[in-house]
């Protein structure tokens, strides 16, 4: 056997390949390669328009069978959504995540599998009606998702664990959603120890439920998100006041309030805000969470105190804050009945309005002047949600062109992502002149703006890698 000095692979630098969330905000995935190990961090679905979604079915840029481990920052679908496909194509390694992320991933991936199967069946039906052969296969099935979930291994917070030869990892609070974590890596190399820090998606101070992110620690390379690296979020108090006005208007005008929400995180935060209004004397009327997944996730939040703010639970008597008249619409019939509702607050998935029950509610309400749509989350390029915030006069929903006459409100103050100041505060303990930082999970204007701040004010060596680019560490 060749000695390490004589073996070219043994002297190879650590390499990091950017396979998603590069110059964009979906499809998070990064491949770390050392002389002795290959570790994948995240494996998310690409979301948005047809061009973005086309990435999902492409072959992976590596052999899944040769991975030594997968590390999952959190269970949002743009970070975990291709894991069943990875398993289907040969993954045999463990998938490490926090306990809460493991539980959330089960909910998210089984739901995603159903969507993949349903979409494939629908497209095949259309092909058959046109006299063509049905050729569309789902990206993965429920069976693929179940097989993948068997590879999950829950890990605790703040402790180092071995994931591959010469690679140790540690999860620390990221403050984004339940279970969300930063990934801190120690790498053994011939040149000595290397540290790589992945921020994951970072939360912010002042969120109603989730505990704040723990500050960054020094590393040779910091891979950090910059979704809102070019802006400050509105004052939370002003945002809450605007939402309160929307709710009061709806009560007076007997119009529905539609809130497209991500089933994980945003739905639970909005329920907490509505509960706060109620505690201050607001009349809410009927509040419906129209998403079986969001209902399941809400129950999981109730059982997962480790990631939640103790003060939020204490103020709600030890329970997860929620409106007193909250209803869960789990069955399709319950959701369809809401089409006849005229004075309800309806929270429904999906957050970008590209799928799910929110599309049906938009179809039945967008053309009504008394209805209100409240956008409370990020809307990717090409999504229906982005069309609404860009003031489209009509959108195509469920095969129909629907006029937009409802009031469209954009409330960015509810984001579960930190803004520029939040990101700087998180990074501050690890910043030093020449600090290497790779910016990901942001659209080009946000990456460029945040990169300038880091370089000009703090002397950091900043780069925003392109999709498929490799950096040496």
* First vs last C-alpha separation in the chain: 27
pLDDT value at 261 more than 90:
yes
Could you tell me which residue, 412 or 340, shows the higher pLDDT? 340
Does residue 141 sit in the same domain as residue 204?
A: yes
Residues 270, 394, single domain; the answer is: yes
Last-in-domain residue among 414, 439, 460: 414
Percentage of residues of the chain with pLDDT beyond 90: 75
Side by side, the strands of the sheet bearing 436-440 are: 161-164, 167-173, 181-189, 192-198, 221-225, 436-440, 461-463
C-alpha span between 340 and 151 (Å, rounded): 44
pLDDT of residue 6: 42
Who has greater pLDDT, 363 or 342? 363
31-40, 283-292, 451-460 — which is least confidently predicted?
283-292
What letter would DSSP give residue 262?
-
Domain boundary among 394, 414, 434: 414
More confident residue, 435 or 134: 435
pLDDT digits (tens, 9 = 90+) for 19-47: 999 999 999 999 999 999 999 999 999 98
Label residues 129-167 b or e (16+ Cβ within 10 Å = b): eeeeeeeeebbbbbebbeebbebbeebebeeeeebbebb
Does a structural domain hold residue 4?
no
Query: Is residue 319 located within the same domain as residue 395?
Result: yes
Confidence of residue 12 (pLDDT cuts 50, 70, 90): low
Cα–Cα nearest to 78, from 412, 370, 468, 351: 351
CATH number of 254's domain:
3.40.50.10890
Q: Could you tell me what percent of the chain has a pLDDT over 70? A: 97
Strands 167-173 and 181-189 come out as antiparallel
Number of domains in the chain: 2
Distance from C-alpha of 401 to C-alpha of 398, rounded to nearest angstrom = 8
Q: Are residues 145 and 259 in the same domain?
A: no
Domain holding 327, by residue range, is 236-414
Residue 379 lies in a domain: yes
Write out pLDDT tens, residues 121-153. 988 998 998 888 868 999 999 999 999 999 999
| Residue 86 covered by a domain | yes
Count of all residues that appear for the chain in the document: 473
Question: What is the spatial distance between Cα 20 and Cα 274, in angstroms, rounded to a whole number?
Answer: 35
Q: Is the pTM of this model over 0.85?
A: yes
Query: From the centroid of its chain, how far is CA 248?
Result: 30
Alpha-carbon distance of 109 to 141, in angstroms, equals: 10
The reply to whether 139 and 247 lie within a common domain is: no
| Coil vs helix vs strand at 49 | coil
pLDDT in tens, 197-217: 999 999 998 789 999 999 999
Query: Does residue 91 sit in the same domain as residue 222?
Result: yes
Instruction: Identify which of 1, 52, 64, 12 has the alpha carbon closest to the alpha carbon of residue 28.
Output: 52
Tens-place pLDDT, residues 402-432: 999 999 999 988 888 999 999 999 999 999 9
Identify the burial level of 244 via C-beta atoms within 10 angstroms of its C-beta, where 0-12 means exposed, 13-18 middle and 19 or more buried.
middle
Q: In terms of domains, do 401 and 436 share one?
A: no
Tell me: do 225 and 249 sit in the same domain: no
The answer on 151 and 66 residing in a single domain is yes
The answer, yes or no, to whether residue 2 has pLDDT greater than 70, is no
Confidence band for 310, pLDDT divided at 50, 70 and 90:
confident
What is the DSSP code (8-state) at residue 47? -
Q: How far is CA 206 from the centre of its chain?
A: 19
User: Is the predicted pLDDT of residue 445 greater than 50, yes or no?
Assistant: yes
CATH code of the domain covering residue 56: 3.60.15.10
- 1 assigned to some structural domain: no
pLDDT value for 283: 85
Where residue 72 falls among pLDDT bands split at 50, 70, 90?
Answer: very high
pLDDT band (50, 70, 90) for residue 465:
very high
In a domain, 2, yes or no: no
Q: In this predicted model, which residue has the larger pLDDT, 381 or 194?
A: 194
**Is 5 domain-assigned?**
no
Whether 52 and 149 share a structural domain: yes
């Amino acid at each position: 056997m060749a000695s390490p000095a004589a073996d070219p692979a043994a002297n190879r630098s650590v390499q990091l390949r950017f396979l998603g969330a590069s110059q964009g905000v979906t499809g998070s995935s990064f491949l770390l390669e050392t002389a002795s190990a290959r570790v994948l961090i995240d494996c998310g679905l690409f979301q948005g328009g047809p061009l973005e979604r086309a990435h999902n079915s492409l072959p992976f840029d590596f052999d899944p069978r040769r991975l030594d481990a997968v590390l999952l920052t959190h269970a949002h679908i743009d970070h975990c959504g291709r894991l069943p496909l990875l398993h289907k194509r040969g993954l045999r390694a463990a998938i490490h995540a926090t306990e809460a992320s493991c539980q959330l991933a089960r909910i998210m991936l089984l739901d995603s599998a159903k969507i993949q199967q349903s979409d494939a069946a629908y497209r095949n039906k259309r092909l058959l009606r046109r006299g063509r052969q049905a050729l569309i296969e789902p990206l993965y099935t429920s069976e693929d998702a179940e097989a993948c979930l068997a590879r999950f291994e829950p890990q605790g917070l703040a402790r180092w664990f071995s994931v591959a030869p010469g690679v140790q990892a540690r999860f620390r609070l990221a403050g984004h959603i339940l279970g969300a974590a930063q990934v801190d890596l120690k790498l053994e190399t011939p040149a000595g120890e290397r540290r790589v820090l992945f921020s994951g998606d970072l939360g912010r101070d002042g969120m109603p439920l989730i505990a704040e992110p723990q500050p960054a620690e020094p590393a040779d390379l910091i891979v950090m998100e910059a979704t809102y690296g070019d802006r400050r979020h509105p004052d939370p108090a002003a945002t809450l006041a605007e939402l309160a006005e929307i709710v009061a208007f709806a009560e007076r005008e007997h119009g529905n309030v539609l809130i497209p929400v991500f089933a994980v995180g945003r739905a639970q935060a909005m329920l907490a805000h509505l509960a706060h209004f109620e505690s201050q004397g607001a009349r809410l009327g009927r509040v419906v969470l129209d998403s079986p997944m969001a209902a399941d996730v809400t129950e999981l939040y109730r059982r997962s105190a480790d990631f939640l703010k103790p003060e939020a639970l204490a103020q709600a008597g030890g329970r997860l804050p929620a409106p007193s008249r909250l209803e869960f619409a789990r069955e399709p019939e319950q959701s369809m009945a809401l089409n006849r509702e005229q004075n309800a607050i309806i929270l429904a998935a999906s957050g970008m309005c590209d799928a799910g029950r929110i599309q049906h509610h938009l179809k039945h309400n967008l053309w009504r002047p008394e209805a209100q749509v409240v956008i409370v989350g990020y809307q990717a390029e090409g999504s229906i949600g982005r069309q609404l915030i860009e003031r489209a006069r009509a959108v195509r929903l469920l095969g129909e062109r629907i006029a937009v006459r409802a009031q469209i409100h954009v409330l960015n103050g509810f984001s579960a992502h930190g803004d520029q100041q939040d990101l700087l505060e998180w990074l501050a303990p690890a910043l030093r002149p020449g600090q290497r930082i790779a910016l990901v999970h942001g659209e080009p204007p946000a990456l460029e703006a945040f990169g300038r701040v880091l370089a000009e004010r703090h002397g950091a060596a900043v780069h925003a890698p392109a999709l498929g680019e490799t950096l040496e560490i």
